[in-house]
Structure 1
Amino acid sequence: MNPDLNLLHPYPFEKLAALKAAVSAPAHLKDIMLSIGEPKHEPPAFVLETLVCNLSKLSNYPTTKGLPELREAIATWASKRFQLNAGTFTADNHVLPVNGTREALFAFAQAIIDRSKPDALIVSPNPFYQIYEGAALLSGAQPYFLNCTLENNFIPDFAAVPVEVWKRCQLLFICSPGNPTGAVMSTAQLKELIALADQYDFVIASDECYSELYFDESNPPAGLLQACAELGRDDFARCVVFHSLSKRSNLPGLRSGFVGGDAKILEKFLLYRTYHGCAMPVPTQLASVAAWEDEHHVIANRSAYRQKFDAVLDVLSGALPVTKPDASFYLWPKTPIKGEIFAQQLFAQQKVTVLPGSYLAREANGINPGEDYVRMALVAPLAECVEAAQRIKQFVQSL
């Protein structure tokens, strides 16, 4: 067996299950889950219809590069959404369909890391999506974590990173809007990272799967490719983005997304993926075309989340120090007691499940930046989210 498998930590939800198993919750209360970032809004009916109408195409082997019409739909969407310079982001050279961003983020590290350099680092924010860490460990690199705290507005302080770290860095993972904090990086910050990537010769992998969940229709979150376009960097050198239909279109089970950016990197990544055997089924591709070509359902989706945030924050006001994030569907409140104890006792007393922030982070520079926080995913129906907020408020008042 690969000995690096022994380096992997239990997944956060394994830890959460063990934490909850140690207590019992009131039998008369309905269990409300705010722990998993799994969208519960209805998927677009027209996407499901497209999927069903094309099931006969399961008799065809899909290509790893994907259907031209899917890549074209993605290129058109991304060019418009991120204001890319005309004709620079092409279906043939800059887009690869993937089976959701989770598998793509993991696979990308395996393709990028140069194993001939035993001191290679993969740098990521902390807290973080645990796939970044697993990808680093199984690629033969070491993870290096940058703490995201209230003091730095939950954006890593890249200027404070030691030069020796940048010299060893081969891949930088960023997540904007962030999981779990919802913090959004500005184009100025993204441009600074691009300059660092040029200076120290590393690749930026920007996880943007929450990019379409925001509150101000006139001010969507910026993306890495957008920063490239503003710099006139139309080859997107060293820059690769990851997008998904899971959150944007409430289709987590479709397992559909894309990787886009630097054509030279994607050429090699396509070779890797051809051997990896991860081509997207043709019916899924055609359903994805329908989703990427429509914005009406995405706008309606954002509206539903706005209602939930407004209602929940109204209930929690004064009970917990929590504010609306820049984007995403998460709340990241600081807890009056350690986050792990808060989550366990909240379940034991109120049967509401939240995720301890420490499970999403690692100790770095002497602290675990998630230790005094919990993550709440406002994915349940509006009424359930409001009831959960009321129970949380009652719990906090009992402490």
Structure 2
Amino acid sequence: MAFPERFSNLPEYAFPRLRKLLDAYAPGGPVVHMTIGEPRHPFPAWVGDVIADSLEGIGRYPANDGTPELQTAIAAWIARRYGVNVSADRQVLPLNGTREGLFNACFALCPETKGGKVPVVLMPNPFYQVYAVAALAVGAEPVYVAATAATGDLPDYASLPPEILERVSIAYLCSPANPQGAVADAGWWRDLIALAERYDFQIFADECYSELYRDTPPPGALEIAAQMGAHPERVVIFHSLSKRSNMPGLRSGFAAGGPESIARMKQLRNYAGAPLPLPLQAVATRAWSDEAHVEENRALYRAKYAIADDIFGDVPGYTPPQAGFFLWLPVADGEAAALTLWRETGVRVLPGAYLARAVDGVTPGADRLRVAMVAPEDEMRDGLTRLRSCLYGE
């Protein structure tokens, strides 16, 4: 039997790879899980009531494009958050989490060729793994662009040679960044959008960490594109309730962008999508309409930033995250450090190399650990204290 070759060179996914690295060894202390970015703060207390009040929706097929109420709530949130008015029914598409959208948008919007050549899809390196799989699935060439301390932990797409940029159809960018916690400021977005205008490619802005920040709300790609008067189809943004509202199990997010882009994504979803059940769409409608629980959540993360800064502030190379909930800690070798930490303390973290691809023999993040600050505060403090003592000394 023949199988496709398009995914044959994908590395093993990060978490099975981590299990192979660690699970042959007993933990060296009480286990603290700091690997997966799964929020563990309480979700809003009203979620159960909204589901109960909407339970009759289980007996009906959900609207493929989202209910009008959900579309309107999302459009209203975009207007409040970014000052951009979008059409609720023409420029918004509710999703089963952002991963669905980030993958399927490539199918809906990446052309088969560009200038008669294989199209290029740009992505930061390290990166969220769905970007690479989406590019390969549509027959595009993924180009991994280092996002390291030398580049401000964001990719320098403008440094690519013109022969690459002329083939670019899509550029993925996560801001706030996973795993580094860096934020693309307004100037950075303006430069990328100007580059996209010059070379005529789309920007897929993965902004699912946008509401977790220290002090200043990160600017959004759609916001800056509107200020610049960029092509209306230039940017597609992706957001989620997983991090913002502590509801990863709801599997609810959205894409928003130009009407032609969203129409094409909706058309594909008619054939291959899985809309959110109606009771969960009702929860999402309430969540996008409420900021009180988001402010409470953000306060919890600000306290965690302070704890991390206190524990690691004098560690050479430590960079306080600007946003999100990951620490990106410097070590000599990420795999070796993760294994030592597990065997000596029971703290479980992710080697940075597991989120990256080697380019010209160099793997960005090979000298880093990604540490998720999602556990309750006391548990997180304990885990970080043990990590500090084990890997950096008292």
- TM-score tier, shorter chain, comes to over 0.9
Amino acid at match of 1:357: G
- CA shift at 1:398, angstroms? 5.6
Query: What is residue 10 of structure 2 aligned with on the other side?
Result: 8
Report matched runs for 1:210-289 at 5 Å.
210-216=209-215, 219-233=216-230, 236-289=232-285
Amino acid at match of 1:340: E
User: Are 1:210 and 1:248, in contact at CA under 8 Å, matched by a contact in 2?
Assistant: yes
User: Secondary structure at 1:45's aligned position in 2?
Assistant: coil
Query: What is residue 37 of structure 1 aligned with on the other side?
Result: 37
Query: What is residue 353 of structure 1 aligned with on the other side?
Result: 348
How many percent identity over aligned positions?
41
Counting matched residue pairs gives 390
Query: What is residue 343 of structure 1 aligned with on the other side?
Result: 338
- CA shift at 1:114, angstroms? 2.1
User: Are 1:8 and 1:137, in contact at CA under 8 Å, matched by a contact in 2?
Assistant: no
For residues 327-375 of structure 1, what are the alpha-carbon distances to aligned partners after superposition, in whole Å with 9 as ceiling and x for unaligned?
101110111x201100111001000011100001111244211110010
RMSD: 1.6
Extract unaligned runs of 5+ from structure 2: none
Query: What is residue 20 of structure 1 aligned with on the other side?
Result: 22
Report matched runs for 1:155-194 at 5 Å.
155-194=154-193
Amino acid at match of 1:77: W
1:150 aligns with 2:149: yes
User: Are 2:30 and 2:345, in contact at CA under 8 Å, matched by a contact in 1?
Assistant: no
For residues 222-246 of structure 1, what are the alpha-carbon distances to aligned partners after superposition, in whole Å with 9 as ceiling and x for unaligned?
001110221134x632210000000
User: Secondary structure at 1:6's aligned position in 2?
Assistant: coil
For residues 68-107 of structure 1, what are the alpha-carbon distances to aligned partners after superposition, in whole Å with 9 as ceiling and x for unaligned?
11000000001110122xxx41101110000000111111
- CA shift at 1:393, angstroms? 1.6
Query: What is residue 51 of structure 1 aligned with on the other side?
Result: 51
User: Secondary structure at 1:185's aligned position in 2?
Assistant: coil
User: Are 2:158 and 2:195, in contact at CA under 8 Å, matched by a contact in 1?
Assistant: no
Q: TM-score, normalised by structure 2?
A: 0.95
Query: What is residue 375 of structure 1 aligned with on the other side?
Result: 370
- Structure 2 residue corresponding to 1:329, chosen from 322, 325, 329: 325
User: Secondary structure at 2:193's aligned position in 1?
Assistant: helix
Identify which range, 155-164 or 347-356, moves more after superposition. Answer: 155-164
For 1:342 and 1:9, the matched residues in 2 are separated by 20
For 2:245 and 2:24, the matched residues in 1 are separated by 36
For 2:106 and 2:277, the matched residues in 1 are separated by 23
User: Are 1:320 and 1:333, in contact at CA under 8 Å, matched by a contact in 2?
Assistant: no
Extract unaligned runs of 5+ from structure 1: none
Identify which range, 280-289 or 305-314, moves more after superposition. Answer: 305-314
Query: What is residue 135 of structure 2 aligned with on the other side?
Result: 136
Query: What is residue 196 of structure 1 aligned with on the other side?
Result: 195
For residues 122-141 of structure 1, what are the alpha-carbon distances to aligned partners after superposition, in whole Å with 9 as ceiling and x for unaligned?
10001100111111111111
Q: TM-score, normalised by structure 1?
A: 0.94
Amino acid at match of 2:103: F
